[in-house]
Amino acid sequence: MMPHQAYKFRIYPNKDQQAFIHQTHGHCRFVYNHFLELWNTSYKEEGKGLNRSIMSKMLTKMKKQDDTAWLRNVDSVALQASYENLIDAFQRFFQKQNNYPRFKSKKNPVQSYTTKNTNNNIAIIGNQMKLPKLGLVKFAKSRNIEGRIMRATIKYNASGTFYVSVQCEVPDFKPLPQTKEAVGIDLGITDFAILSNGRRVDNQRFTAKMEQKLKREQRKLSRRYEQAKKEGRNLRECMNYQKQRRRVARLRERVAFQREDFLNKLSTALIRQYDVICIENLNTKGMLKNHKLAKAISDVSWSSFVQKLMYKAKWFGRKIVEIDRFFPSSQICHTCGHRDGKKPLAIRVWTCSACGTILDRDINASKNILIEGLRLLKQQP
């Protein structure tokens, strides 16, 4: 099975194309909610939900009925993808990966639909992208697409911008040349990452840098909301409120893009430099329950960083070794292996009571992670 790679571009649809995208979002949302309601009813009455065959036949009938004939106006593949997403949501629920599926709302600031490439109806033509039912759409071609295009997801963000994510089936990636180097990484908040070779990667604190500006703009948004509520006006008709809402959304979007760019560049650099990367398996969800650190932990996005390391290592023939989250990396001396026990977080210098080694606490932890990772790697078949 060939690996998949996604490319994300900003698109610039004209007014008619924008209207059609919004219409498709609404139709897909209707199909999803309709089958979710039927699924709930079927489960209550018969003790079982729907399956793919039943929903496919029902959707075909709905297109022929007078009251729902308008479903024929949009891309049929996008409608099919809606109930496929519902099936996937239930499968994840039964596997305890997420909560019970909920109804989609048109008030959700992010709307999207997915369509497949059939008979070359998704293609790149110069600086335009050909999309089903939309025709040629201008897009920001920041890089060339490699491989066979399989599907595309058209997304509308709260900032009022449109994006397309193109998933491609690409030939196997060529393994990177061996560097015969390994590294242990201790993730933190003060420094984003501390490497076993002593290098520190600074925490960029993207949210904190934008926090004051975000607070100011959000206060403006709240005032305009209260004014509209006092006058009894519909928020969709309040142009000043909508402008301010998009302004706040753009600031949040900028933070997200900055973080994504940072994580991608750092993970790629590490994959290119090291054959083996040892990293802790952190319980991020549990750590987020600490309300004093929740904002800082969310801002650093450890989970996203580890996920990027994982799939890039798989692409380029590198090895990622995850250390058990209960491994006491900050309590062991990397030189002699003596365990001194847990020390206060305020003490940032490690001093071994057995051999007298003095070292930065985080660097000592990253070295222990590397040692444990290499030990586990030797035990693998």
Q: Looking at this protein, which amino acid is placed at residue 135?
A: G
User: Annotated catalytic sites, by residue?
Assistant: 186, 280, 362
Residue 301 banded pLDDT, cuts 50, 70, 90: confident
* Residue partners of 170: CB distance under 8 A and separation at least 6: 2, 3, 4, 5, 146, 147, 148
- Computed over its alpha carbons, how large is the radius of gyration of the chain? 25
Choose the weakest-confidence range: 87-91, 133-137, 206-210, 265-269: 206-210
User: CA-to-CA distance for 115 and 117, rounded, in angstroms?
Assistant: 7
pLDDT of residue 345: 61
Mean of pLDDT values over 61-83? 93
* Six token digits for residue 189: 């908040």
The whole-chain average pLDDT of the chain stands at 90
pLDDT of residue 365: 87
- For residue 327, pLDDT over 90 is answered with no
Is residue 71 pLDDT above 80, yes or no? yes
Sign, CA dihedral 79-82-88-91, equals negative
- Please give the average per-residue pLDDT across 60-66, as a whole number: 93
- CA neighbor of 28 nearest in space, from 67, 66, 80, 72: 80
CA dihedral 261, 267, 271, 276 (to 10 degrees): 180
pLDDT in tens, 205-259: 888 888 899 999 999 999 999 999 998 898 888 899 999 999 999 999 999 999 9
Percentage above 90 pLDDT, the chain? 60
pLDDT at 353: 77
Domain ranges of the chain: 4-169, 182-379
